[in-house]
Structure 1
């Protein structure tokens, strides 16, 4: 019999899983790969621009799972951004090919231990749920034999929809969005976004990427998602909010058919510092970025092809 209580073992597993995910992201950044920048090469036959989704349920993965699956698709040169579990493959009339190695993603939730239930019953006080983080394995559709209607990749976005969709999102959001000046920024105190005119950008598409980054910041206002935006420049809190905005822009860009890029490459050093000090930081940042992306994309209900980034997968901030 183990000398450790089950809750101790669960805690150790949770910590090791946090470390495993964080170390994976750190390794990507140190190798010069930014996981939320387009991690595919369509010319080389790898996965097309898309948010990762479950091939059986069609529900998108969220938070840090997006980064894990994008990296896996790039590293293993998969032609699809669709995934499913071993059992799901069997349930839809297919199977995973023999010898295939899956990709580990995570699921977070809370539970109330039996001791806590007894305490609540005796005292009538509110129960304190314990967060847990669980790993499970998914396989890319390239690794499976599936029915034809499941294996077929969804058609790509029409290029003509990109710019009008972003502009419509800006209008529908109701956020005070100003075009002009020479800097792109969000002013929390006055609650407005300002971005230079498109003509000021070397590539016009970068205007849309920048706009989505700044809108990501604006989503955190107290009247919206109420994030802590109080960090001053060059602090860890500021770097963490920049990481959220970068991920939010990447998730929005991909959902709208725009290849994401690093808008603020000079922050990579500060992101690495945050990740090395806190093995839960990337999970919290990715989870909050998913919420921010869902908030912004939610202003376009008529665009039915734009999925939520947090309907499935991990709810990582629960594991903090």
Structure 2
């Protein structure tokens, strides 16, 4: 049975990977960078997509999928929920509304293996990984939901260095140096360097640059241990830039800062990477989410909600086999 389950899941998994990759390629070819939300034309303010009930932020490729839905379909909120969750709140999804497909990974452990593990007093190991696809709806697509579910987050006040960004950077404990002519992260010496905010034409870009470089900082061998050995122009270098680019965008959005493309000239190399491997964008988005979560975990509200907080999107099915969040 386990082999049949794995065999059935492989074509479905491949199709999901390809659908996601095709959409990312189409956006990049059109000059749109999916992790830089066009906030100026979107109805929603800056923010991270999250579950309307649990307030857990979605992660990985689901961030890009839901941001795309918010921008392309004109949603006014980043809050999503399942059909059953809307009903549990006393609301309904309006007839004819089309949901947004997102994914999560899970592991299937055969019954015989679970029973043996119970008899031997040990935890089950391994299992068969599979990808699950499910559908969520924006709260904009629902009627009858409680008022607090639909209430948008308050706007973030502007400043030269926003207090929440300054506090978060300090809380990471990173060797973070402000000043000098250029922004970079030194893996060998493990420090981040960023020019002064007043050296930027628009000081808000300082935040985008700072969190991009902190995205690289998370990859050090003592933290998330990513491959940072690639030389400029190599695919390894391009992959790490892609991770840092998305991680910076995720952190900015969580803090209410409009993300932007720090390295637009890398788009060609990113396209080359994801065209060659239809799982490359999923791996990069997953690594970026881990990097953003690592940075955000140092904040005061590190495990509370969707407004600048870290929460893991991975959820488990309930006893009926359906998602509980």
Q: 1:161 to 1:287 in 2, by over 3 A?
A: farther
Spell out, residue by residue over 1:255-282, the C-alpha distance to the aligned partner (whole angstroms, 9 max, x if none): 1111000000011111111111111111
| Range with greater deviation from structure 2 (269-278 or 6-15) | 6-15
Tell me whether 1:129 sits opposite 2:130 in the alignment.
Answer: no
User: How big is the alpha-carbon RMSD for the aligned residues of Structure 1 and Structure 2?
Assistant: 2.7
Give 2:279's aligned residue: 280
Which has the higher mean CA deviation after the structures are superposed, 294-303 or 45-54? 294-303
Q: Does 1:228 align with 2:222?
A: no
- Tell me the SS of whatever aligns to 1:159: coil
**Contact persistence 2:102–2:135 (CA under 8 A):** yes
Gaps spanning 5+ residues in structure 2: where?
Answer: 317-325
Partner residue of 1:48 out of 45, 48, 55? 45
Rounded to whole Å, the distance in 2 between the matches of 1:310 and 1:161 is 28
Q: Which residue of 2 aligns with 1:312?
A: 313
State the Cα deviation string for residues 50-84 of structure 1 (Å, max 9, x = none).
11111122211111111100111111111111111
- Aligned residues of 1:290 and 1:310 also touching (Cα < 8 A): no
Quick one: distance in 2 between partners of 1:268 and 1:45?
23
Structure 1 stretches lacking a partner, 5+ long? 316-320
1:60–1:307 contact (8 Å) kept in structure 2: no
Q: In structure 1, what is the Cα distance between the partners aligned to 2:200 and 2:274?
A: 31
1:72 aligns with 2:49: no
Q: Secondary structure at the match of 2:33?
A: coil
Distance 1:222-1:313 versus aligned 2 partners, 3 A rule: same
Match of 2:200 in 1: 201
- If asked which structure has higher relative contact order (CA below 8 Å, sep 6+), I would say 1
| Deviation of 1:20 (Å) | 1.1
Q: 1:137–1:300: structure 2 CA closer, same or farther, 3 Å change rule?
A: same
Query: Following TM superposition, where does structure 1 have runs of at least 4 consecutive aligned residues deviating by more than 6 angstroms?
Result: 115-121
Do 1:65 and 1:313's aligned partners in 2 also have CA atoms closer than 8 Å? no
- Number of positions where the alignment pairs a residue of Structure 1 with one of Structure 2: 310
| Contact kept in structure 2, 1:162 and 1:258, CA below 8 Å | no
Asked whether 1:84 is paired with 2:95, we answer: no
Provide the residue aligned with 1:318 in structure 2: none
1:127 to partner: Cα distance: 4.2
| Deviations 1:193-247 (CA, angstroms, capped at 9, x unpaired) | 1112223211111111101100110011111111111111111111111111011
Give me the TM-score of the superposition, normalised by structure 1: 0.88
TM-score normalized by structure 2? 0.87
Residues 81-111 of structure 1: CA deviation (Å, up to 9, x unaligned): 1111111100111000000000101111222
2:214 maps to: 215
